[in-house]
Structure 1
Amino acid sequence: MNNIKEAITDRWENSANGYDTYIQGEINTFKEKGWRDLILSEFEQDKLNILDIGTGPGFFSLILSKEGHKLTGIDCSKEMIEVAKKNCKNTNSEFYVMDSHKLDFSDNSFDIIVCRNVTWTLYNPKKAYKEWTRVLKPGGKIIIFDANWYLSYFDENLRKEVEKAQVNYKNKYGTPYESCTKETPDEFYKSLPLSSKLRPNWDESYLKLLGYDNIKIDKNIIEKVYDEREMALYACTPLFKIVATKNKGEILWN
């Protein structure tokens, strides 16, 4: 378990500058508007206290703080946090290096939790989801964006589709952009607990066990936040969106 945890941190440490370059290309474009609309459409209140888990270079914190909300961003990578602080200077945001499986926040602290392309890297997703539930206020919402990034290692038909899409992309656009400066072995992706799970089905089932209700799922949001190149490359692994409301009653800690 510790080896997986260390490998995840190492990967994000080596992705900070590359991922920052990527998200800089999203700022002030249709992508920023797309992401903002996907989140803000889920609530109407002003000045919410929002936890941005796996904040990376601070993209969500930046675009949501522009709307008057208070953002707290956490990441396991010190390098990512340094970049986020720079990007979100002069905004109502604060950032901490923190393990998303063990949060240094009191119970019922946040109105909203958001995360993007984070949950696939969790070394203990059940523990993390329980912890996120603990710090979310009753009636608060968790908004998760992710994809079945490495399910192709466990699904032969999907693997063939992904490989075909990669070849077509390379023939048309060249080598895909890679934010990580360090090569990551296949064994790393295969070892992650959620790589072999069909999602968002797994997430929906476990969130119900934790006492969430009114769970809404959009299994494909790529047209709202991807450009033509990204849609060509990731058509076989579309981004999904999960929105779940923490039950105001008793939480089931199964």
Structure 2
Amino acid sequence: MSTNSTKPTAMPPVVDHQTWRAALDELRRREKAATRELDAIAAQRRRLPMVKMADYTLIGEHGPVRLADVFEGRSQLIVYHHMWTDGAEWQCGGCTSLTAQYTRLRFLDNYDARFVIVTNGPIEEALAYRAKVGNRMDWYSSSQSSFGADVDAPPGGGFGVNVFLRDGETVYRTWHTDGRGTEQLSHTFPLIDVLPWGRQEDWQDSPEGWPQGPAYAGWMDSPDIAAQYG
């Protein structure tokens, strides 16, 4: 895990309270507009069509399990597809860091929903890694089916999120995202983004003199997650 070793000297300008309030109010108008746009996006998401899934079988902690049974009686399922390299000591740091945030998921029960991890790796390795980094949710392996490849998370590919809806024994795919689309499922970036210096990554638009370094430099890597939570 990287941290800045020198204290930055660049600071926001100091103004009187009235000037600060006016600048904040201007920003708040944009923030409110963004909130309304996110509401509109969510409304559009609720109106998406869906596609019927095949009767996939995954491998769980206790053996093979049909995709419909991964729901454990619920109607909705969120799947995070964890990047995987067979036999690696440490798996994707970004995936590990993101999923480490999901420590209390029972609130989804109130919404008839469940959250699980699926990886293309062997289930024995996946479960050992889950324990190593301190994850608590259930993990499944798609190593013996084409499930990962069919939902845009193929072996050797990237990470992603898929959402499914179950109607009896039939499962439908309703939503998918990957890349920076997964940031909306994180609480770390929203917290960091409200800090005066933000993420401190050199791709971001920041004032002159703001502390900035390479992308991902401040992220916790998989060994850090294991040391903190595993």
TM-score (norm 2): 0.29
Which structure's relative contact order is higher, taking Cα pairs within 8 Å and 6+ residues apart? Answer: 2
Q: Relative to total residues, which structure has the larger helix share, 1 or 2?
A: 1
Larger gyration radius, structure 1 or structure 2: 2
